[in-house]
Structure 1
Amino acid sequence: MEILLDLEQTQRFHGLQQDGSELETAIRQARSGQIRPYVELQWPEAVLDDWQWDILESLFDLTIRRVFVKGNTGCGKGAAAGIACCTYFHIWNDAKIIITRDSVRTAQKIAFGEVDKWWRKMRFKPPGKLLTSGVFDNNQHSISLANPQHIEGFRGAHSPHVFFWFDEATAPNLEDKYKLANTQAKKFLALSNPSTLSGTFRDSFPVVNPDKTQTIIDQYGNTRCITVSGWECTNVKEKCLEQPVAPIGGIKISDNYYPHGSPIAADDFEKVQPRIPGQTCYDEFMALLNDADPLIRNVYALGKFPDQDPDKQVILPDWLIEPVKFWTRWNRLCLRAREQFHILALKLLEQILPVEGFGLDVAASRFGDASVLAVGGRYGIRAIHECQFSDTQQTMSWVLETANSHGVDLEQGIVPIAIDWGGGYGNAVGDPLKKRNVNVIEIHGNASSNLDSKKYANKRAELYGEAARRLDPAGDFRMMPFALPDNQRLKAELVAPEKIYAGHDGEKYYITPKGRRGSDANYNGKTLHEILGRSPDRADAVVYCLCALRSQRRRQLIVA
């Protein structure tokens, strides 16, 4: 018996020695970028998808500093992040890991919850005490949470191995934290569903092919951009089910086929249990993939960035399709009528798009911008004209001549023209026009809305908000067609502004500022000039024109 006990102790000792040696080897490999041996040693039963290995291998690649991951709902992004945090903490004895999210409570519950789960499953625990909201070994070796409401948690993380994890990284209150984190991070990980058109997370993916997994070079060096589609998840690929009911499209299990909605026998349901606990299953994925809303299909099923964001964008790209088609048909008919000298046909076509108002954006020519004049009426914008002159007198003459080319004598004071009065350029043209009896409407973008002050935080928000009402195909004007010139710059400028809510009721909003000058000092996002690479002069002229038309109708009602 004593011999057997000695033998067992000897075997256990050699086993521990072997395990210790294997662990040391795995740690050395992980430090050099070979992460698989360490993960397979610590979590031998873990089943990871190829894209999860991609996250881990990218984070520990010595040539990659930042990793951005967007994916479908419930794919398991957080699991890979939890494993990465535990691993990074273990292999570096001076690792400082900072985790944040939209709120410290959800960061503790969800993001740190993943760290807690994988920590408890580790075969070989690192030094340090697992707490309810972090791991503490010493002041130079810890995992902690940063409160997004306070800037302090994103400063002072000085160490050769600082790791920031931004979960739900598209949260608005994280925007101003990115730069601080990147000044300190040795490794940076950001995860999110891609339900946004703007912000640092979106801008970190390439403009061309943003939904393609790839490594790009940016100001921080190599950045790995990973997109996860539901089709890449093990539970989806192997058609695992969450409920014993056949999904959309039906399912074949063994030799039995179950049409959509039919109950699945217990024996067959046992064969399609989830391979990865907690990961989205085939039936859940198919429900999202067949949703009527393309936003749900693309973002939450396929992990793609949306083409439009109804919650943020003032004017949606889809709203411009029919107006451009309407204008294109009208313009084609006008060209044909001119070529064939059909005077009567031209007069009829002009009645379809009458000229009832103008909108003028006066640019500061010395900065290289052009002045833009929008010509239109109740059924749309007939034309967009641009010019660039050295002085405002020439610009004024150009406005009068252009209006005359459309059959309107502005000096009669009947047809209105709305002009932006900001910046000192609009009034330089508008005041001389007033002296010539022109019906000038002054636009003051920062003034209060005189139409709906409970919805619009200023006049500029009102201008774009009311333009959106006119263009919305399901809105108040859905029975009235509207035309827009087929101008790529105009279309890009119209859809660029986003809502910035001013109150807690989710109603009143500003819109994305044109530039830094005059914008709110607390605004941390990109301006329209930074997004477009230019000022939104064409879109501004259009919304000014619509404002002139509204003012003219109100004036006619008052006179009547």
Structure 2
Amino acid sequence: MKSTDNHQILFCERLQRDRAQAEQGTDLQSAINLARTGQIRNYVQIQWPEVQLDDWQWDILESLFDPTIRRVFVKGNTGCGKGAAAGIACCAYFHIWDDAKIIITRDSLRMAQKIAFGEVDKWWRLMKIKPPGQLLTSGIYDHKQHSISLANPKHIEGFRGAHSPHVLFWFDEATAPNLEDKYKLANTQAKKFLALSNPSTLSGSFRDAFPSVEADRTQTIVDQYGKTRCITVSGWECTNVREKCLEQPVAPLGGIEISDNFYPHGTSIPAEHFIQCTPRIPGQTCYDEFMSLLNDPDPLIRNVYALGKFPDQDPEKQVILPEWLVEPVRFWTRWNRLWHRATDNRHVKASKLLNQILPVEGFGLDVAASRFGDTSVLAAGGRYGIRAIHECQFSDTQQTMEWVLETAFSYGIDLKQGFAPIAIDWGGGYGNAVGDPLKKRNVHVIEIHGNSRSDFDSQKYANKRAELYGEAGRRLDPAGDFRMIPFGLPDNERLRAELIAPQKIYSGHDGAKYYITPKGRRGADENYQGKTLRETLGRSPDRADAVVYCLYALRDQSRRRLIVA
């Protein structure tokens, strides 16, 4: 009798289990069908019922599964949980499409395996109902048309041949320089593209994916690839920060209130109160960590690593930082009224005083071809800064030459006496058309050949053009060798944009020597994949070029005087 009862009990339990599995399978298939239309929440809640996600993490998942959105770019603060959302997305994408090919890459293959695929491994193991496929140390394999694999950023093979209706590329730490040339290859293969990074760059494919205006606002844009979802995550949007969870039992900056008790910064928090502040989402950055970043004296740390914003400047890449131009423009503006009195009203005393404060001792000329719409630019300046930027556009080089002589004479300088130098770009083929006739008139012309070897510091500068901008930066650096000597720059927004646009492109193995961003495709290295200055600015950097040529003319003149002395 007992044996019969036991069999009945086992039979009923098996029946209930089979029925539950059948119902669960029905629910899962329904969730998969919804996920294919972009409604991913039911699927995630079935597979990871205990997971807690922030609204922006749901945004990543829903955008990635939205059939109308091809690419998703995410930038955010340190430790917000971008990788967790990506790990869940990869597991879900692999399950809902039986022909899914997922390729994961990062700045190095080792870090891709350890960090990015580590997230996939973690969420795969936590899935309630696992899809077919074998979990390996560096991927998941079901069959040739259904797999998750890693791509080595050192080679391009991993970014080719991924032919399938459902190919997903995940670029982690997507601002890495060695991934730049992989973007185009991946985009030719990808049906879905996911890129994550801290926004610590001013240029490159990751930055270019975000709009130039309101780049720090979450939005969907339309670009050459279709719809791209651009998501920005601030530390304030993280659950652990919003609910003031703490990593350590010590009051953070600004203090904290727990159960009507206020703890000033640095004081210990007793266990009975600290337990109320434990992290809600394991592994996500906490309030105390966030506050330390938010109060860092470096604005780069505050904006990039705490608030997820693109920086205003990048000390690692920019040759001339925007903050270096603040005081020179202020110095120039301080004497702007005097400048107007000297030039407009022919005020003799004002002219003499201005010549002492901002003397004109040399010139820099960028000669443009009128048929391309550019203007010729002449920078006039001396040891204490650039007095003025002059522009003209004539139909022939003879007129340009006469304009140069007349403009110099307006400062009391007769270039034909051969004392004041003028540096002219010889590389474009137009500078010599003005420079050679000036030489015949005894003008002290200095030829600029941008691609020639640096004769100042060939260990630092890969060519002359890098030297010109690098030494201009050294003159402008408020903490550099010339910090005690004032310097003025015209309050010209175009000039400012052009001066800060060039970035360092390191060459060689020592990481010290660099080129700078090329002006245009003509003459640029064929391996260069980034935007040229003309593409970034929408014009040639003629004003900035004229300024650095002028500074070079002054340096060259100083060296000649030292040699003669």
- TM class, shorter-chain normalised? over 0.9
Aligned to 1:493: 498
Q: Which residue does the alignment assign to 2:174? A: 169
Residue 348 of structure 1 corresponds to: 353
Q: CA deviation at 1:504?
A: 2.5
Q: Which residue of 2 aligns with 1:17?
A: 22
1:206 pairs, out of 200, 203, 211, with 211
Secondary structure at the aligned position of 2:257 is classed as strand
Instruction: Please give the alpha-carbon distance, in whole angstroms, between the structure 2 residues aligned to 1:339 and 1:440.
Output: 29
Instruction: State the 1:177 CA deviation.
Output: 1.1
Deviations 1:389-444 (A, max 9, x none): 12211111111111111110000000000011112211111111111100111111
Is it true that 1:267 corresponds to 2:272 in the alignment? yes
CA drift at 1:337: 5.5
* Match among 444, 458, 468 for residue 439 of structure 1: 444
Which has the larger displacement, 405-414 or 342-351? Answer: 342-351
Tell me how far 1:326 sits from its aligned partner: 1.2
Aligned to 2:369: 364
Structure 2 portions without partners, runs of 5+? 1-5
2:194 alignment counterpart: 189
8 Å contact from structure 2 (residues 78, 306) kept in 1 = yes
Shift of 1:81: 0.3
Q: Which runs of 4+ in 1 moved over 3 A?
A: 336-342
Change (3 A) 1:339 1:406: closer
* 376, 390, 394: which one aligns with 1:389: 394
Q: Tell me what 2:306 maps to.
A: 301
Q: Which residue of 1 aligns with 2:510?
A: 505
CA distance in 2, matches of 1:523, 1:213: 30
Query: Aligned-pair distance for 1:338?
Result: 6.0
1:26 aligns with 2:15: no
Hey, what does 2:110 align to over in structure 1? 105
Alpha-carbon distance in structure 2 between the residues aligned to 1:186 and 1:274: 36
Q: Aligned letter for 2:541?
A: P
TM-score under structure 2 length normalisation? 0.98
Query: How is 1:234-313 mapped onto 2 (pairs within 5 angstroms)?
Result: 234-313=239-318
For 1:340 and 1:468, locate their aligned partners in 2 and report how far apart those are by CA, in whole Å: 35
Alpha-carbon distance in 1 for matches of 2:434, 2:225: 46
Instruction: Give 1:481's aligned residue.
Output: 486
Q: Partners of 1:294 and 1:338 in 2: how far apart?
A: 40
Could you list the per-position Cα deviations for residues 300-327 of structure 1 after superposition, in whole angstroms to 9, with x for gaps in the alignment?
0000000000000000011111111111
Residue deviations 1:68-111 (CA, integer Å, cap 9, x gap): 00000000000000000000000000000010111111101000
- Partner of 1:306, secondary structure, is coil
1:70 match: secondary structure: strand
Q: Deviation digits for residues 343-385 of structure 1, max 9, x if unmatched?
A: 2132112211111000011112222211111000000001111
Q: Report the secondary structure of 2:147's partner residue.
A: strand
Taking the aligned partners of 2:59 and 2:117, their CA distance within structure 1 comes to 21
The answer as to whether partners of 2:461 and 2:515 remain within 8 angstroms in 1 is yes
Worse overlay, 7-16 or 128-137 = 7-16
Give the match's secondary structure for 1:328.
Answer: helix
Is 1:314 the equivalent of 2:319?
yes
Shift of 1:253: 1.2
Amino acid at match of 2:486: P
Give the superposed CA RMSD.
Answer: 1.1
**Residue identity opposite 2:356 in structure 1:** Q
**Aligned positions, number:** 560
Deviation at 1:505, TM superposition (A): 2.2
Provide the secondary structure at the position in 1 that maps to 2:390: strand
1:506 offset after TM fit, Å?
2.4
TM-score when normalising by structure 1: 0.99
In 2: Cα distance, 1:115 partner to 1:427 partner: 60
Counterpart in the other structure of 2:467: 462
Q: Does 1:145 align with 2:150?
A: yes
| d(CA) in 1 for partners of 2:110, 2:339 | 62
- The aligned residue for residue 3 of structure 2 is none
Percent identical pairs in the alignment equals 80
Q: Matched residue of 2:428: which SS?
A: helix
Residue 541 of structure 1: which of 546, 554, 560 is its match? 546
What do residues 444-501 of structure 1 show as CA deviations (whole Å, max 9, x unaligned)? Answer: 1111111111111111111000000110111111111111111111111000000011
Taking structure 1 as reference, are residues 448 and 338 closer, same or farther at Cα in structure 2, changes over 3 Å only? closer
Residue 327, structure 1, aligned to residue 327, structure 2: no
Q: Give 1:336 deviation, angstroms.
A: 4.0
Whichever residue aligns with residue 229 of structure 1, its letter is S
* Counterpart pick for 2:162 among 157, 162, 168: 157
Distance (Å, rounded) in 2 between the aligned partners of 1:509 and 1:41:
53
Aligned counterparts of 1:435 and 1:339: Cα–Cα separation in 2 = 33
- Hey, what's the Cα distance between the residues in 2 that align with 1:185 and 1:465? 39
208, 213, 222: which one pairs with 1:217? Answer: 222
The answer as to 2:69 corresponding to 1:38 is no
